[in-house]
Structure 1
Amino acid sequence: MPRVGRVVLPNYPHHVVQRGHNRQVVFAAEEDYQRYVRDLRELKDAFGIKIYAYCLMTNHVHLLVSPGNSVAGLGQLMKALAARATRYRNRLEGRTGTLWEGRYKSSVVQTETYLLACCRYIELNPVRACMVADAADYPWSSYNARIGLVPDSDWLDIDACFSILGDTTLKRRENYKAFVKQSVSSDETKIIREALQRGQLTGTARFIEEVERIAGVRIERRGQGRPRLDGGI
């Protein structure tokens, strides 16, 4: 069974990060963030992509997305998002050249075990970076939309795993808020971060075996745990 580089699978969530070229600033003003979110909303349907979470940082973007039956949709989405942002900034600043790194990082995520944990990881980026004290204080992530604090937020997709958070929309929002606020283990953060950086899978050993069978490739293993879903749920 051959080894593999990047794994992209249809109908599985993928944790994706794209950084500015040489870590340069890609969002310098409020309009930059607004345009990217508008493009994300528009292009998700064009390429058949589900969006579960996002966070726009100063020099990079985190997304939790799922391509449909065509895995090409993920690459097409990232290419189109990058091209639109680059054209806008180049036109605004009277410059040429690339805005983003040429290759984004991605990790296939085990839905039932890690999708919620990855949403939390993504939306807590500004808190870990000491930019805000609470995820709700940061306007450029999916968190406030997910907990119902902003209007017109129904464009975010809801995986079936969100149903474990409650029987009603209100209860799911309240329990998701509690889930994000609970203490996150360093092991969980390390697993998610390293899986993304190394292009590995975010999931259990059984999940890795499942993906190996689907993709017909051998995937590097590493020690992994299971995220906590207690503390208010």
Structure 2
Amino acid sequence: MARQARGGLAGVPHLLTQSTHEGQTLVRDDADRQRLLEILRMAAKDHRVSVHAYALTDSGWSALATPSTDNGLSLMVQSVGRHYVGYYNRRHQRQGSLWASRYKSCPVASAQDLLDCMVLIEVANPSGAWSSAAHHLGRGTDPLVSDHAQFWTLGNTPFERDAAWKRRLEEGLSPSRSRALHDAVAKGWAVGSAPDIARLQTATSRRLTPSRRGRPPREQEPPQV
């Protein structure tokens, strides 16, 4: 089966992940984490991508981001990969790539699904030290984060939004919802309601939903008169 094309849709939020080779560590200490965030911040600015949420783990990173151009997302990820691997190899005296494969991403077609994507990302690093959780919990302002308008619907004041987000992170996502989002980003299928995905599909030739299995239904022959 051909691989689903990677790419972005301008003005549309995307859930994305990138993982290291099995057993390979992405960050060994806080200096690595700080440098990775600096590189991500510069790459997002250079390629005009708004990052709404992110998290670093020992074996990869994930984000919710909206590119301003169709190729902005891929250019940002390529820049992060190139600059961070160069830094990491020099610092740790190693050679070769860190990444297991191309990054994975899916568009988020419905606004109501965007907050679930943020929860999925931030619960991977709930302390907030190396994620956007601290920003959304009111513990400081993160220069990497551009809040999505949907986040502001959580309350009329920063205090209300911080409290509402704390509850969302504590509640987390159901196992079935987490699996569905992980599956969507792994396969590149859009997240959202059927009408929203259908509207988004008109803006791209890339398939946003899996094709139906099996043969197409046969046309019925007209009855004999």
Deviations 1:170-224 (A, max 9, x none): 21111111122125222321221110111111112112211221113444349xx
Deviations 1:92-142 (A, max 9, x none): 12222112234100011124121111000101124xxxxxxxx2x351111
What 5-or-longer segments of structure 2 have no aligned partner? Answer: 212-225
Deviations 1:63-95 (A, max 9, x none): 111100x12111111011111111111111222
Scaled by the length of structure 2, what TM-score is found? 0.85
Map 1:11-30 → 2, pairs under 5 A: 11-30=11-30
Task: Tell me the matched-pair count.
Answer: 209
What 5-or-longer segments of structure 1 have no aligned partner? Answer: 127-134, 223-233
Question: In structure 2, the residue corresponding to 1:107 is in which secondary structure?
Answer: strand
* CA root-mean-square deviation: 2.0
Partner of 2:148: 159
The letter for the 2-side match of 1:103 is: R
Partner of 1:51: 51
Map 1:30-179 → 2, pairs under 5 A: 30-68=30-68, 70-126=69-125, 135=126, 137-150=127-140, 152-179=141-168
Q: Distance in 2 between matches of 1:138 and 1:148?
A: 11
- Say whether the 8 Å CA contact 2:119–2:173 is kept in structure 1: no
The letter for the 1-side match of 2:102 is: R
Scaled by the length of structure 1, what TM-score is found? 0.82
Partner of 1:129: none
Question: In structure 2, the residue corresponding to 1:53 is in which secondary structure?
Answer: strand
Runs of 4+ in 1 over 4 A off after TM superposition: none
Q: Distance in 2 between matches of 1:37 and 1:49?
A: 14
The letter for the 1-side match of 2:45 is: D
Q: Percent identity?
A: 26
Classify 1:199/1:23 alpha carbon distance in 2 versus 1 (closer, same or farther; 3 Å): farther
Q: Radius of gyration: which is bigger?
A: 2
Q: Distance in 1 between matches of 2:46 and 2:138?
A: 25
Partner of 2:209: 220
